[in-house]
């Protein structure tokens, strides 16, 4: 072993456990160099440097090692930079980081989500970057852009108003729901005061009872304006009217003649019924409206 160390020192070799293939000692083309053979069997009878380098040793006090060619070691040959560009320089290396990476050998990952880049969403960290999962109503790389939902016309029976991250429907009368898609049953509120309610899409209709009018059957009809009482006086009432009939007439509208003859008003004569009255035809010797008065003899 001592002989080998002597040979290494005399030949200018550098002994290191970390030599790579690029660092391997390359012997000079001079045929005078004969490295020691440690694999051959038998005793080694060479005792000093002149036995190993006979042509290059002039004396035991002066040894000239052979000249070795200079080699520039490339520090990037083994790709030491994991997430960056490697630049070889003066036998060493420099790692230029890609974005999102840091550290001496660029092994340390930068967490972009720590800066909360997603304005309206959830940040998911990834190798060399990040991804935003946007909340409803937002879009863009950083969820910074509001989606105009009104372009899709979501309000079926109303007006759409866009808002940050959403929208609002202003429903037309008779409609409700988030998208104004649900009909309001107005009949549940009993809007028809004097009539029957019929629900319809977006509204309702009242079928009014007689004597009432208006959208909600809230207005009394003045039937007297139509002069319903044929033989009498009309009096208007809520939801109707009343006729005060003239003598000789009856019925709701005083349209029916009273047959006064059924009461036998003519005491001594014959009764003849007439519209609104009667007439007595008296027997001889009798006179008066009802033939009740006798005729005096002269």
User: Which one, of 245, 242, 241, lies nearest residue 257 by Cα?
Assistant: 245
- pLDDT at residue 75, rounded to an integer: 58
Q: Which two tokens stand for residue 266?
A: 């003519």
DSSP structure class, residue 150: G
Residue 3 host element (H or E) = helix 2-11
Q: Are 71 and 53 in contact (CB under 8 A)?
A: no
Residues 6+ apart with CB under 8 A from 182: 175, 176
**pLDDT by residue (tens digit) across 221-235?**
999 999 999 999 999
- pLDDT at residue 15, rounded to an integer: 38
Question: What is the set of domains in the chain, with CATH numbers?
Answer: 2-63 (no CATH), 185-220 (2.10.25.10), 222-258 (2.10.25.10), 260-298 (2.10.25.10)
- pLDDT at residue 249, rounded to an integer: 95
Q: Which two tokens stand for residue 61?
A: 């006090």
- The CA distance from 2 to 44, in Å, is 12
Task: Find residue 167's DSSP bridge partners.
Answer: 162
SS3 113: helix
Whole-number Cα distances in Å, 52 to 79, 150, 168 = 40, 94, 97
What number of residues does the chain have? 298
Residue 49 host element (H or E) = helix 49-52
- The CA distance from 45 to 49, in Å, is 12
- pLDDT at residue 40, rounded to an integer: 46
**pLDDT by residue (tens digit) across 55-100?**
544 444 454 555 444 444 555 666 665 555 677 666 665 666 555 5
Residues 6+ apart with CB under 8 A from 264: 271
User: Which one, of 72, 93, 78, lies nearest residue 23 by Cα?
Assistant: 72
Neighbours of 242 (CB within 10 A): 15
End-to-end CA distance of the chain: 198
Burial of 205 (0-12, 13-18, 19+ CB in 10 A): middle
pTM of the model: 0.42
pLDDT beneath 50: ranges in the chain: 1-26, 30-33, 38-40, 49, 56-61, 63, 67-72, 104-106
- pLDDT at residue 128, rounded to an integer: 82
User: Which one, of 86, 88, 95, lies nearest residue 72 by Cα?
Assistant: 88
């Amino acid at each position: 072993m001592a002989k080998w160390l002597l040979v290494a020192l005399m030949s200018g070799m550098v002994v290191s456990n970390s030599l790579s293939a690029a660092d391997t000692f390359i012997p000079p083309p001079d045929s005078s160099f004969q490295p020691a053979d440690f694999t051959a069997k038998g005793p080694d009878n060479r005792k000093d440097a002149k036995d190993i380098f006979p042509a290059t040793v002039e004396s035991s006090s002066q040894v000239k090692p052979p000249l070795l060619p200079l080699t520039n070691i490339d520090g990037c040959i083994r790709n030491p930079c994991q997430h960056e560009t490697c630049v070889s320089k003066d036998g060493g290396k420099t790692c230029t980081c890609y974005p999102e990476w840091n550290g001496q050998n660029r092994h340390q990952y930068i967490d972009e989500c720590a800066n909360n880049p997603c304005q309206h969403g959830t940040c998911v960290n990834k190798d060399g970057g990040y991804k935003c999962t946007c909340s409803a109503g937002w879009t863009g790389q950083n969820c910074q852009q509001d989606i105009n939902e009104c372009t899709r016309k979501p309000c079926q029976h109303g007006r759409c108003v866009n808002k940050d991250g959403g929208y609002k429907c202003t429903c037309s009368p008779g409609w409700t729901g988030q998208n104004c898609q649900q009909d309001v049953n107005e009949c549940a509120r009993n809007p028809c005061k004097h009539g029957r309610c019929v629900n319809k899409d977006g509204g309702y209709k009242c079928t009014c009872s007689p004597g009432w009018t208006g959208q909600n059957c809230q207005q009394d009809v003045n039937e007297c304006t139509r002069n319903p009482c044929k033989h009498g006086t009309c009096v208007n009432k809520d939801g109707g009217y009343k006729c005060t009939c003239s003598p000789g007439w009856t019925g709701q509208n005083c349209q029916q003649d009273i047959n006064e003859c059924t009461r036998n008003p003519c005491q001594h004569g014959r009764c003849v019924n007439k519209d609104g009255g009667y007439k007595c035809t008296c027997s001889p010797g009798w006179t008066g409206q009802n033939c009740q008065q006798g005729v005096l003899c002269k």
